[in-house]
């Protein structure tokens, strides 16, 4: 298991990066006219190579941060396979030009939208779900007819190396290439004039990516993060909320961009909710600290640097007077932090302002829903928001008065896996959407195409502008005050 603060690895050769990028130009031009069958064949080759390495990925994830085979299947393979399944079943329909009726002033024309590949795209993937957040966007990019260069995270070296072998076996570099490395490799890639950049990571790095893209006016999809809040009101099904939230929070040991970051719990039900959460954690991971540490279902923190960061957040909160209900054990050498529920956190504690991205769950008592909504709106817009309630008025109030990339009612996290929903953030938590047809569109340019008919009504607007022609144009403009039929 990797424990260093930053995994040591060789940087990719800048000349090789440039050679692959240049070689992909001719391929990208050729692939503009690629049929659905060709694109599907590429995706199938990737799928078959991925599944052939199933057991090897188990070992790689064990090496990088002791992720169990069950979590590898559920959180890494499953999203990619769902993405592939949608492409195989729907790509022909997605690729068809969409006809559009003419507006009032465009009568006599024929309009459609064509979906063109953006061209050469860059995919920069994170470490927390290194397989699904790398190959998932790649599937969308291939479905849209693009070439791709991929930069996985250096913090999961075993998984990255395995993905590199798969890409090299399946694709020549002029189609898809993968370059391992850390910040210098990312910097070298971001200097190139890609047609689109798909980045998943933190808001701070997202700003750097967007700045680099602006130098070439490249379009971007940014899947970022933020402190995704959860609300549990006085009418919530507390047992179901506890069971689901303890899964969503501690999946991948809390290292999930849409994990519940903190929970606002109504004062009237907080003791019962906390008790239910503690019981769930004991049933799933062990009745005491030693049993939980031995449990093979608990993924480790990715490295010592992040373990120290999380330990610092916990220590800061405790020094300020916070109370741990369960958990709190830290073993930095083993990159281990126990599933921890913490409350009575005073204002000013770093855990309330920094994205946690780990197995620490602050529980915040509230009495008035308006106060919770005000607190959410005072913070940057989160990637996800969760509300647990059986009172429709409360649900409606939360959804109408807040903004987030996505939201779940009486559920959490799973909107990420719904292939018919757009997944993405808003402002600080990202821009653009992914998954399914939304992912196909993210990697496509929607080209407007208008065809003239023999009628050519536009001639009525040609000069010379006689008084009669002016009256006609005014009449058309005035008609636009009428409602659409």
- Whether the CB-CB separation of 120 and 149 falls below 8 Å is answered with yes
Q: pLDDT for 209-244, tens place per residue?
A: 999 999 999 999 999 999 999 999 999 999 999 999
408 in active site: no
As a whole number of angstroms, the distance between CA 168 and CA 176 comes to: 8
As a whole number of angstroms, the distance between CA 263 and CA 231 comes to: 6
The token duo for 109 is 């024309």
Q: pLDDT for 154-164, tens place per residue?
A: 999 999 999 99
Task: Enumerate the β-bridge partners of residue 221.
Answer: 198
pLDDT confidence tier of residue 6, bands split at 50, 70 and 90 = very low
Place of tokens 């291939």: 142
pLDDT confidence tier of residue 9, bands split at 50, 70 and 90 = low
Which one of 257, 277, 335, 408 is the catalytic residue? 257
Span 266-280, mean pLDDT?
98
The token duo for 229 is 């809040």
Which one of 223, 343, 355, 437 is the catalytic residue? 223
Whether 312 has a pLDDT exceeding 70, the answer reads: yes
Mean pLDDT score of the chain, rounded to an integer?
A: 96
Q: CA geometry: angle at 69 spanning 6 and 255, to 5°?
A: 45
pLDDT confidence tier of residue 4, bands split at 50, 70 and 90 = very low
> What pLDDT was estimated at residue 1?
52
As a whole number of angstroms, the distance between CA 107 and CA 476 comes to: 12
Span 267-282, mean pLDDT?
98
As a whole number of angstroms, the distance between CA 322 and CA 301 comes to: 23
What size, in residues, is the chain?
Answer: 485
> What pLDDT was estimated at residue 209?
97
Span 449-476, mean pLDDT?
92
Whether 140 has a pLDDT exceeding 90, the answer reads: yes
Q: pLDDT for 38-73, tens place per residue?
A: 999 999 999 999 999 999 999 999 999 999 999 999
Q: pLDDT for 99-122, tens place per residue?
A: 999 998 898 899 999 999 999 999
For residue 464, say if its preceding peptide bond is cis, omega within 30 degrees of 0.
Answer: yes
Q: Enumerate residues 6+ apart whose C-beta is below 8 A from 64.
A: 1, 2, 130, 155, 156, 157, 158, 159, 302
As a whole number of angstroms, the distance between CA 405 and CA 304 comes to: 30
423 class by beta-carbon count within 10 Å (0-12 exposed, 13-18 middle, 19+ buried): buried
Q: What percent of the chain has pLDDT over 70?
A: 98
CB burial string 129-166: b at 16+ within 10 A, e below: bbbbbbbbbbbbbbbbbbbbbbbbbbbbbbbbbbbbeb
- Whether the CB-CB separation of 102 and 109 falls below 8 Å is answered with yes
Q: Enumerate residues 6+ apart whose C-beta is below 8 A from 80.
A: 50, 131, 132, 135, 136, 139
Span 387-400, mean pLDDT?
98
223 in active site: yes
> What pLDDT was estimated at residue 457?
87
Q: Which of 8-17, 356-365, 374-383 bottoms out in mean pLDDT, i.e. has the lowest?
A: 8-17
CB burial string 63-79: b at 16+ within 10 A, e below: bbbbbbbebbeebbbeb
> 128: closest CA among 206, 222, 200?
200
> 434: closest CA among 200, 186, 149, 152?
200
Span 452-479, mean pLDDT?
92
> What pLDDT was estimated at residue 105?
86
281 class by beta-carbon count within 10 Å (0-12 exposed, 13-18 middle, 19+ buried): buried
Q: Which of 63-67, 132-136, 248-252, 453-457 bottoms out in mean pLDDT, i.e. has the lowest?
A: 453-457
- Whether the CB-CB separation of 373 and 387 falls below 8 Å is answered with no
């Amino acid at each position: 298991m990797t424990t260093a603060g930053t995994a040591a690895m060789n940087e990719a050769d800048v000349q090789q990066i440039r050679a692959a990028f240049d070689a992909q130009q001719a391929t990208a031009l050729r692939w503009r006219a690629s049929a659905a069958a060709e694109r599907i064949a590429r995706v199938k080759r990737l799928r078959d190579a991925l599944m052939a390495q199933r057991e090897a990925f188990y070992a790689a994830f064990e090496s990088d941060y002791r992720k169990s085979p069950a979590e590898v299947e559920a959180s890494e393979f499953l999203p990619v396979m769902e993405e592939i399944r949608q492409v195989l079943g729907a790509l022909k329909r997605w690729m068809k030009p969409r006809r559009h009726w003419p507006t009032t002033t465009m009568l006599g024309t024929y309009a459609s939208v064509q979906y063109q590949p953006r061209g050469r795209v860059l995919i920069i993937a994170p470490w927390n779900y290194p397989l699904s957040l790398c190959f998932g966007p790649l599937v969308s990019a291939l479905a849209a007819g693009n070439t791709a260069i991929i930069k996985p995270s250096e913090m999961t070296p075993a998984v990255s190396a395995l993905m590199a072998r798969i890409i090299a076996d399946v694709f020549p570099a002029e189609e898809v290439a993968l370059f391992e490395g850390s910040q210098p490799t990312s910097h070298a890639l971001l200097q190139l004039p890609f047609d689109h950049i798909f980045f998943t990571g933190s808001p701070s790095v997202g700003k750097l990516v967007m700045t680099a893209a602006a130098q070439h006016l490249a379009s971007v999809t940014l899947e970022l993060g933020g402190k995704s809040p959860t609300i549990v009101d006085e009418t919530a099904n507390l047992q179901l909320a506890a069971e689901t939230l303890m899964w969503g929070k501690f999946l991948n040991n809390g290292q999930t961009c849409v994990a519940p970051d903190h929970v606002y719990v109504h004062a009237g039900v907080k003791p019962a909710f906390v008790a239910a959460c503690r019981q769930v954690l004991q049933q799933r991971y062990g009745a005491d600290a030693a049993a939980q540490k031995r449990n093979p279902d608990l993924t480790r923190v990715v490295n010592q640097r992040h373990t120290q960061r999380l330990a610092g957040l916990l220590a800061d909160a405790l020094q300020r007077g916070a109370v741990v209900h369960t958990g709190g054990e830290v073993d930095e050498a083993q990159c281990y932090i126990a599933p921890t529920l913490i409350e009575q956190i005073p204002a000013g504690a770093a855990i309330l302002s920094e994205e946690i991205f780990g197995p620490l769950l602050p529980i915040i008592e509230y009495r008035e829903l308006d106060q919770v909504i005000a607190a959410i709106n005072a913070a940057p817009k989160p990637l996800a928001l969760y509300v647990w309630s059986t009172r429709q008025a409360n649900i409606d109030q939360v959804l109408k008065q807040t903004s987030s990339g996505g939201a779940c009612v009486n559920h959490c996290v799973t909107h990420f896996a719904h292939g018919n929903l757009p997944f993405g953030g808003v402002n600080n938590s990202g821009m653009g959407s992914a998954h399914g047809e939304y992912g196909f569109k993210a990697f496509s340019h929607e080209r407007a195409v208008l065809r003239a008919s023999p009628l050519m009504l536009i001639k009525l607007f040609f000069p010379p502008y006689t008084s009669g022609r002016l009256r006609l144009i005014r009449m058309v403009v005035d008609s636009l005050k009428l409602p659409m039929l």
